[in-house]
């Protein structure tokens, strides 16, 4: 799947226009998504003063969201945030059965269990107090690294068991897991997503994911079994590129270039090569590399040295190490 196209954005307008987008955690990823949505709010008809809510223990972060984006509903605790969302307000559509609650779980993995428990408990409290009288759909989107969809589902089910209602919970829920990367901060993330099961996936929820994460880069759907591989390639990938740029720049300094000039040359070279590959999507990287490697020239001597020193295997081993660690983290949860 490619990045979100304009027709996809148009088709999702009706599903996002009344939805409540609730960020649990106000860190860099949440800020990146909010910034991306803010820049495209006219396209997707977002009302930041009403539709977005953010919870974070850090008051200064919340103040920054208020100041920069005009977001009014912020809170330091999940119970306070949920209470604010469902406060009786004749002018609000919060109590409409058509309003979906989209919770973006953007917190550290170790904090996820307590966050879900607090969310379910707070929602239970709202329903028990009859602040919500109609059925509601809840959509959980997790960007927590290494925690599987089944693990998240287990946490939700356990929390529901611990917060028994006098009647079945008047809501259904869907779970999606997304693996973005740090380039989301500049709108250039490569994000991959997967739903808990086909039965839990519907076109509107899928498009919500595409719009939210399409606001910070390109979005791809993969099977959950491949999200560890996504972590190894794109999740951790920026660090490999930074290390390569550092090494390339240092090599230039070794041969007499100033640090500033050498680093600029290295950065521009990597950026230019990536754009060349992006704009020539029908060409394999090897084909573009071959275009630079003149017979008996400097480039073929350099790439031969990289190969003989295990460059390709080093990259492959790095990805394998990241994949292995991601699987290990998942098992630890």
Per-residue pLDDT at 329: 84
Report pLDDT for 324: 94
Beta strands at 101-105 and 73-75: parallel, antiparallel or unpaired: unpaired
pTM metric for this prediction: 0.87
The share of the chain scoring above pLDDT 90, in percent, equals 64
| Mean of all residue pLDDT scores within the chain | 86
pLDDT on residue 18: 60
* Residue 89 tokens, joined: 């307000």
Angle between helices 28-39 and 203-214 (to 10 degrees): 100
Q: How many CA atoms lie within 13 A of 323 on its CB side?
A: 15
Q: What are phi and psi of 40, to 5 degrees?
A: -120, 20
Lowest mean pLDDT among 142-146, 186-190, 263-267, 276-280: 142-146
Closest CA to 145 of 175, 119, 179: 179
What is the CB-side half-sphere exposure of residue 314 using CA atoms within 13 A? 10
Q: How confident is the model at residue 38 (pLDDT cuts 50, 70, 90)?
A: confident
The closest alpha carbon to 174, from 193, 199, 144, 191, belongs to 199
What is the predicted pLDDT for the residue at 9? 42
Separation of alpha carbons 99 and 86, rounded Å = 11
CB distance 120 to 160 below 8 Å: yes
Residue 183 pLDDT exceeds 80: yes
- pLDDT mean over 33-62: 84
pLDDT at 11 over 50: no
Tell me what pLDDT residue 40 has: 79
| 97-147: pLDDT as tens digits | 456 889 999 999 889 999 999 999 898 887 776 555 556 789 999 999 889
Helix (H) or strand (E) holding 104: strand 101-105
The per-residue pLDDT for 171 is 76
Q: What pLDDT sits at residue 78? A: 95
Distance (Å, rounded) from C-alpha 196 to C-alpha 59? 33
Name which of 161, 323, 173 is nearest 234 in CA terms. 323
**Range of lowest pLDDT (91-95, 98-102, 304-308):** 91-95
Q: Token pair of 301, please?
A: 């001597």
Q: What is the pLDDT of residues 209-238, one digit of tens each?
A: 999 999 999 999 999 999 999 999 999 999
Rounded average pLDDT over 34-47? 77
């Amino acid at each position: 799947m490619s990045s979100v196209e304009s027709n996809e954005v148009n088709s999702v307008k009706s599903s996002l226009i009344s939805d409540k987008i609730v960020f649990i955690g106000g860190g860099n990823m949440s800020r990146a998504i909010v910034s991306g949505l803010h820049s495209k709010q006219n396209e997707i008809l977002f009302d930041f003063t009403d539709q977005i809510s953010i919870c974070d223990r850090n008051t200064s972060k919340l103040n920054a969201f208020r100041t920069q984006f005009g977001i009014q509903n912020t809170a330091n605790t999940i119970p306070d945030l949920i209470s604010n969302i469902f406060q009786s307000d004749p002018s609000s559509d919060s109590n409409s059965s058509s309003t979906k609650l989209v919770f973006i779980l953007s917190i550290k993995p170790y904090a996820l269990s307590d966050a879900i428990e607090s969310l379910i408990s707070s929602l239970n409290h709202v329903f028990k107090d009859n602040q919500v009288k109609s059925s509601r759909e809840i959509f959980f989107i997790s960007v927590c690294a290494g925690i599987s969809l089944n693990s998240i589902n287990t946490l939700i089910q356990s929390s529901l068991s611990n917060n028994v209602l006098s009647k079945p919970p008047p809501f259904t829920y869907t779970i999606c897991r997304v693996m973005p990367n740090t380039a989301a901060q500049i709108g250039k993330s490569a994000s991959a997503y997967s739903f808990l099961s086909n039965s839990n996936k519907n076109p509107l929820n899928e498009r919500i994911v595409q719009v939210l994460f399409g606001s910070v880069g390109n979005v791809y759907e993969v099977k959950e079994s491949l999200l560890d591989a996504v972590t190894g390639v794109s999740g951790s990938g920026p660090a490999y590129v930074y290390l390569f740029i550092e090494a390339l720049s240092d090599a230039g300094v070794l041969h007499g270039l100033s640090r500033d000039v050498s680093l600029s040359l290295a950065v521009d070279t990597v950026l230019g090569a990536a754009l060349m590959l992006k704009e020539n999507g029908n060409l394999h990287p090897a084909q573009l590399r071959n275009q630079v490697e003149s017979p008996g020239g400097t480039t073929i001597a350099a790439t031969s040295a990289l190969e003989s020193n295990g460059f390709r295997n080093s990259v492959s081993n790095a990805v394998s190490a990241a994949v292995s660690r991601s699987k290990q983290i998942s098992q630890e949860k």
